[in-house]
Copies of this chain bind each other. A is one copy, B any other.
Amino acid sequence: MEPFRVHILGCGSALPTLRHYASSQIVEIREKMFMVDCGEGTQMQLRRSRLRFTKINHVFISHLHGDHCFGLLGMLSTFGMLGRVAPLHIYATAEMEPVFRSQIDLFCQNLGYDVMFHPVDTSRSEVIYEDRSLTVSTIPLLHRVPCCGFLFREKPTLPHIRRDMLDVYDIPVSQINNIKSGMDWTTPDGDVIPNSRLTLPADPVRSYAYCSDTRYMPGLHRLLRGVTMLYHESTYGDDNQARAVKYFHSTATEAARVARDAGVKKLIIGHFSARYEDEKILLEEARCEFSNTFLAEEMAVFNV
């Protein structure tokens, strides 16, 4: 199967620590790389990751809190110095463009490429990006400012052709696309070979949902039904349940409940509060509700 991976560049929360950078990750799908959030230090982490800067053409910003976007300007500036010419598309709430545009004008004069802002409505789920092989949709979240997550979903692919059967029935290559599309094959003798004999099932459609920052939303699972991998913020543990409610964040237990209710295959938790010197306690709490949970960590790569 084609690669579909998430590279964690930063998974801390608002206060930077010696262990965690602010939020940012790269979603790698086939040959494309999408950035989700861009906290301070993201460009340094990107360099450390050795991922190819030039493959990033789309940046999705969940909300306008500094730990999710203060790294953007430095990255734009660096891309310019490295000679980028391809446009860069930024998806964020409408209020982002004017404030960043004035900074770009002041700090990134003579930028050799266009920065295109695409305003995002965080109040509903809609497709905001689409290409031949995938869609990206918004996931409305509940935070102190307008905020949404992002759902990356592959488009269904065609079944695989069975090369051995092509040989057996001497089927010409020109017919492959027809067969992939479901056609049976009729031999010169008039025998009909059913399509199911000529193909293997298509790869399952994979999907990845990024949900940060948000208060626990008991109904969120309805938007995440069938998701393969979920990243859900887990700023706090059960010991800080009241704080989670107050600041519109989630606990690890709550993140795991969303994963369980949605029936996802794998849960990654992140956006850890600086107060936890070791997030194992968060992992243990989450695993009580949903066993296939993993801790995000800088430079970790998770296969979807």
Where the two chains meet, the residues of A that have a C-beta atom closer than 8 Å to any C-beta of B are: 14-18, 21-22, 40-41, 43-44, 47-48, 64-66, 70-71, 73-74, 77-78, 81-82, 95, 99, 102-103, 106-108
Copies of this protein, total: 2
Q: Could you pull out 26 A-B pairs where Cβ atoms are within 8 angstroms?
A: A14-B78, A14-B81, A15-B78, A15-B81, A15-B82, A16-B43, A16-B44, A16-B74, A16-B78, A18-B47, A18-B48, A21-B44, A22-B74, A40-B40, A40-B41, A41-B41, A41-B44, A64-B107, A66-B74, A66-B77, A70-B74, A70-B77, A70-B107, A95-B106, A99-B102, A99-B106
Contacts of A103 in B (CB 8 A): 99, 103
Q: Which 6 A-B pairs have the closest CB atoms?
A: A40-B74, A70-B74, A66-B77, A66-B107, A41-B41, A16-B44
Nearest opposing residue in chain B for A98, CB measure:
B102
CB distance from A217 to the nearest CB of B (A): 24
Nearest opposing residue in chain B for A102, CB measure:
B99
Contacts of A73 in B (CB 8 A): 66, 70
CA distance A173 to B164 in the complex (A): 106
Contacts of A48 in B (CB 8 A): 18
CB distance from A2 to the nearest CB of B (A): 30
CA distance A141 to B90 in the complex (A): 36
CB distance from A73 to the nearest CB of B (A): 6
Indicate the member of A17, A48, A77 with the most B CB atoms within 10 Å: A77
Nearest opposing residue in chain B for A96, CB measure:
B106
Contacts of A66 in B (CB 8 A): 73-74, 77, 107-108
Contacts of A18 in B (CB 8 A): 44, 47-48
Nearest opposing residue in chain B for A50, CB measure:
B18
Contacts of A16 in B (CB 8 A): 43-44, 47, 74, 78
Given contacts A64-B107, A103-B103, 11 further A-B contacts (CB under 8 A): A15-B82, A16-B74, A16-B78, A18-B44, A40-B40, A40-B44, A40-B74, A41-B41, A70-B73, A95-B106, A99-B102
